Amino acid sequence: MPRRLRSPGWSTPRLRFGGWLLLAGLLAAGLSSVQADWDFSQILQTAEQRYAPLGQGRVRIEAWSQMLKGETDAPEREQLSAVNRFFNQQLSFEDDTRIWRQTDYWATPVESLIKGAADCEDYALAKYFSLRRLGIPSEKLRITYVKALTQNQAHMVLTFYSSPTADPLVLDNLIGDIRPASQRKDLLPVYAFNAEGLYLPGANGGKRSSDTKNLSRWQDVLKKMQAEGFAVGNG
């Protein structure tokens, strides 16, 4: 989530740029397997083995499972609202240094729900995996790196494109409602990712600028989720 930008200018954003590029690379490698069934009884059992007693985390994970079941056949717009609302209500924002004692840690949805807290990228990841699980194709979703102008901080959101050139909808932990990007004057897009690669901001959905296939923390998230019992494949 938001961290102070290290340079006053925005035209050449450098904050963790390499890490985001690495994320884009693995996203580009292919995101097709998230819709496979998730056995939450086994996931909970594995989580207790990996993370010790879950406490209220068990309740939050079970609520996640029920939310996904309830939204399986819902229209896309309803799915977006349900997923956005769920994680914004279930998780409290905390910086990675407070949650994980690390400057930049990417948590799985299970890890975030156990903690009951998340940094901005954790919100975006949890919403992404949930919507992919509900059947929304990866080309409609972009994990988007922005500058939050009000806070003067780097930030991450999930964006949804109903069509490649549509005004995207923004799923954000800073506000509760989902708004078109054209109404989010407080956010300045820097670049975004989806299964096809890295995109720079611009008209008609922006310009595709990279198909990098380097691995990154994204791969670590996938590996952790697979170890937790999620059939996510390459995402």
Q: Tell me the per-residue pLDDT of 19-58, one tens digit each, with 9 for 90 and over.
A: 544 444 444 444 445 556 799 999 999 999 999 899 999 9
Q: Is residue 234 part of a domain?
A: no
At 36 the pLDDT is 60
Q: Is residue 74 part of a domain?
A: yes
Structure tokens at 172: 């954000």
DSSP 59: H
Q: Is residue 43 part of a domain?
A: yes
Q: Is residue 56 part of a domain?
A: yes
Burial (CB count within 10 angstroms: exposed 0-12, middle 13-18, buried 19+), residue 52: exposed
Q: Is residue 124 part of a domain?
A: yes
pTM: 0.82
Q: Is residue 179 part of a domain?
A: yes
Count of structural domains within the chain: 1
Q: Tell me the per-residue pLDDT of 68-119, one tens digit each, with 9 for 90 and over.
A: 999 999 999 999 999 999 999 999 999 999 999 999 999 999 999 999 999 9
Domain that includes residue 31, residue range:
3-228
Q: Is residue 98 part of a domain?
A: yes
**CATH (domain of 187):** 3.10.620.30
User: Can you give the three-state secondary structure of 156-178, one letter per residue?
Assistant: EEEEECCCCCCCCEEECCCCCCC
| Distance separating alpha carbons of residues 64 and 67, to the nearest angstrom | 5
Structure tokens at 70: 């309830």
